[in-house]
A and B are shown apart, each in its own frame.
Chain A
Amino acid sequence: MLNKVPDDWPSTTQLCSAVAARVEQVFGETGDRLAEISAVIMASEDRVLSANPRPQSSLLVIAACVSAGGAWQHALWPAVAMECAMAAADVFDDIADGEATALWARFGPGSVLIGTCGLLALAAGIVLRGIEDGLSERTVLDLGRLLSDELAQAADGQARSLAPRAVSDAVDAYEVAAAKSGPLGSLAARLGARTASNDPELLRAYGAFGSHLAVYSQLLNDARDAAPSGSTHKRDVREGRQTVPLVFTGSSGAPPHLRGRALQEWEAHERQRIAAEGGVLAAVALAHAERLRAAEVLDTLARIGRPVQVLRRLLDGQP
């Protein structure tokens, strides 16, 4: 029975529509320019207003709520807050990495930066709207505190990852990956669980699951971004980012004088070297360990009677 998806669990399409409708409601109540920038952000990549939405972070909020014993509808505002906060975090990361080129070209750097700050500010208010769906004042205050605390932790981890020569070995690089992505996963799962329960042990368990899920994903992404088959739009290898596969193999970025075809050839060769010398394998092995830990938490939750099938599907990449 515990392996069965709850009967009232809605389809992914229904969930995406419900979250998207509330995002649009918020933007309809927001200043024109901020709403325009925010809507473009939320319609890019696979975010909730895109043609093929995969709003995984808000699905995690809702799945954790249901697993902790709540009704999915009660987690909608926290899910919308998570979706906005996650999109803002993503854009800030793109800005830091010099990869926000499409937004830059459309709105200009200043507007993108201010607009993204606005989106984050909206998230802080959105989470409090849970009260409109019947959550108690105490609960929405806790949700607001969670949002602030975990986002601040993720920002600290991200700032650490961007500091020059902050990482001395692959274990350090793993710790940085965990510090910047773990709090975001923990936040999503805890927001959902807190809408249903205030049991601290239960909240800690859902937070641990979310953290391991996020670190697992982050490490796989870092592996993919360094692999020979990875997207060359990602600049990790060229810029010598401090990720596990690069640090493991001592890869520190392209020589600054390389341009055009010479740079492409250097990068293709470097990606082959990183894979051949075990960098990709190291990141994948560390990711497996995070996945095992996430599965262990789900087993613990299942043993105490919590339905975890939807969370297991998220871990298996089957939302």
Chain B
Amino acid sequence: MIPARRDEHSAEAGAIVDAIQRLRANPEVLAAARTDLAAALDRLGLTGTPRQAIAATLTLRPEAILVYGSSMFWSI
């Protein structure tokens, strides 16, 4: 039902890290994401989980997530 997918997750992590690097290097894409998120994600060539993760990151302010994260589960 749930196959072992760690390699797939690492590949997706690579796509996410690459997208953040490209957003930093291209502020115009970040600015464009505020008005047309889907177009900005297309420009980054993102699909699947990386696309959804970047969309959520750009939509939600990280500061809000991190306050919420103060009651998180695991900190090893």
Choose one: B2, B9, B53, B72; the contact of A220 (CB below 8 Å).
Answer: B72
Contact surface of A with B, Cβ cutoff 8 Å: 54, 56-57, 60, 89-90, 93, 154, 158, 169-171, 174-175, 178, 180-181, 184-185, 201-202, 204-205, 208, 213-214, 217-218, 220-221, 223-225, 227, 229-230, 248, 277-278, 280-282, 284-289, 292-293, 297, 300, 304, 314, 317
Inter-chain contact A300/B2, CB cutoff 8 Å: yes
Contacting A at CB under 8 A, from B9-39, are 9-10, 12-14, 16-17, 19-21, 23-24
Inter-chain contact B16/A218, CB cutoff 8 Å: no
Inter-chain contact A218/B63, CB cutoff 8 Å: no
| Bound CA span A293–B20, Å | 20
Residue of A nearest to B50 (CB): A289
Inter-chain contact B20/A201, CB cutoff 8 Å: no
B36-63 toward A: CB 8 Å interface, digit per residue (1/0)? 0000000000000110111011000011
The total number of A-B Cβ pairs within 8 Å is 134
Inter-chain contacts of B76 with A (CB < 8 A): 89-90, 93, 154, 158, 180-181, 184, 218
A147 to chain B, nearest CB (A): 16
Interface of B is mostly: helix
Closest 6 A/B residue pairs (Cβ):
A220-B69, A289-B53, A288-B53, A217-B73, A217-B74, A221-B75
Inter-chain contact A317/B57, CB cutoff 8 Å: no
Inter-chain contact A220/B65, CB cutoff 8 Å: yes
Inter-chain contact A278/B20, CB cutoff 8 Å: yes
Inter-chain contacts of A201 with B (CB < 8 A): 1-2
B56 to chain A, nearest CB (A): 4
